[in-house]
Structure 1
């Protein structure tokens, strides 16, 4: 990728998906996957629960959970009473949860492929994340904010608007003078969701999809703007809670 596609010369960058994350890589990667990986990650971090991201949903996830002596999150539709899934409400309600392996084909895959520090950010913890990031910008570090997006049936990237809003909401809380035009455009797009988080998330395609399969409560958790205090950071393959 050329320097122009990497948004070189800007301290705050924005792009989409794993390819965008690689193209615009700076000193810190912020992964935003609002419905629901980074929201669930934020809920776990607020509970003090470390999370191992996993891009697979097969036997490799089982092996990873065994290696980390962790609970393996099951698919939303397969979760029984008391079981943990990608649904953030199950993480909030789970008794005795110590460590979690969280499969996710989008946010997890981007985080796992990163070569430097990674933060997991959602609307829930965007204010806490901004507080964490501002001193890094003052030191001259370059921040890449990536909207994870979803996948169409053919495997191509679906730019999910909730991730644009989540990324933009974080960028809007950072100094505007460091932004690339792409980052500034994301920040400008966040206004409606900052004014009405629940209404916008319930109304977007991903929110309607979750409601249709019985997981409208997940959207309510994702809409808890600035309620989260922890900012999970990926260290040696594990997102560790951080309340600095």
Structure 2
């Protein structure tokens, strides 16, 4: 045991893959947050009645297993926009998704973190700004008096691929932390994330659009993804990882 697991606190917030590995084995529930865009995409897809199979980034074996399971594989990453029927990692590509589809989606942040989180023993949820209150309430109900961990996915510096802490995921983690009830002892990390979210809660769409990640997507010609991601609490969907796939 080290200080990095945030032991002694019943609500914890951490970053990225190392955060998953630190908090997952010690938390009853682990919420993965990748606002731009994986967990927003999961929310949109599940809201349409589909399921999402998160695939580790650049793992051909996982992709082959997903194909064998009957999943429709989307292109890897935001740079490749067109997949089966135009479906992709972008949430704006899934607003007309038919129900009962199993989508296999790979991404370097949210999808990879979700796949690794599944191995920790925690119940894994996918949270974003759209479903923050629903996911926070569900996490509290599932965990009972056991700890909850919230993982801000973060982005990647290019080309080195090291973690870049991102505004959007910190706000998403903060929104979920703020929505979790019944916690007597949140960690300093969780408390500060919730306070940060509350400080800008009345202007989330603008803050999101002005963030580095938001401006990156707008410049790439997909402002609708940013708009969808900034629609706070429009969804009651609670994505739970069951048998390797997110289902509502």
Structure 1 residue corresponding to 2:196, chosen from 177, 189, 192: 189
Using the alignment, how far apart are the partners of 1:187 and 1:221 within structure 2? Answer: 21
1:134–1:174 contact (8 Å) kept in structure 2 = yes
Shift of 1:196: 1.2
Give runs of aligned pairs for residues 39-50 of structure 1, distance below 5 A: 39-50=40-51
Q: How far apart, in 1, do the equivalents of 2:99 and 2:242 lie?
A: 23
Counterpart of 2:128 (choices 122, 125, 138) is 122
The match for 1:238 is: 245
The secondary structure found in structure 1 opposite 2:95 is helix
Distance 1:9-1:210 versus aligned 2 partners, 3 A rule: same
1:100 to 2:107 alignment: no
Pairwise CA distance, 1:113:
1.2
- Please list the CA deviations of residues 148-181 of structure 1 after superposition, one character each: whole Å capped at 9, or x if unmatched: 0011121211001100000001111123633111
Match of 2:87 among 84, 87, 99: 84
Aligned ranges 1:210-221 → 2 under 5 Å? 210-221=217-228
Answer whether contact 1:50 1:98 (CA < 8 A) is retained.
Answer: yes
Structure 1's unaligned 5+ residue stretches are none
- Name the structure 2 match of 1:147: 152
Confirm or deny that 1:10 pairs with 2:9. yes
1:227 to 225, 234, 239: 234
Q: 1:58 to 1:16 in 2, by over 3 A?
A: closer
Distance across 1 between alignment mates of 2:116 and 2:80: 27
Question: What RMSD in Å do the two structures reach over aligned CA positions?
Answer: 1.8
For structure 1, which segment, 47-56 or 28-37, has the greater mean C-alpha deviation from structure 2 after superposition? 47-56
Under a length normalisation based on structure 2, what TM-score does the superposition of the two structures give? 0.90
Where structure 2 has 5 or more consecutive residues not aligned to the other structure, the ranges are none
Q: Please give the TM-score of this superposition, normalised by the length of structure 1.
A: 0.91
Task: State the alpha-carbon separation in 1 of the partners of residues 201 and 17 from structure 2.
Answer: 26
Deviates more, 1:210-219 or 1:63-72: 63-72
- The answer on 1:51 being equivalent to 2:52 is yes
Aligned to 1:29: 30
Deviation at 1:208, TM superposition (A): 0.1
Instruction: Tell me if 1:110 matches 2:110.
Output: no
In 2, the alpha carbon distance for the partners of 1:157 and 1:17 equals 7
Corresponding residue SS for 1:120: strand
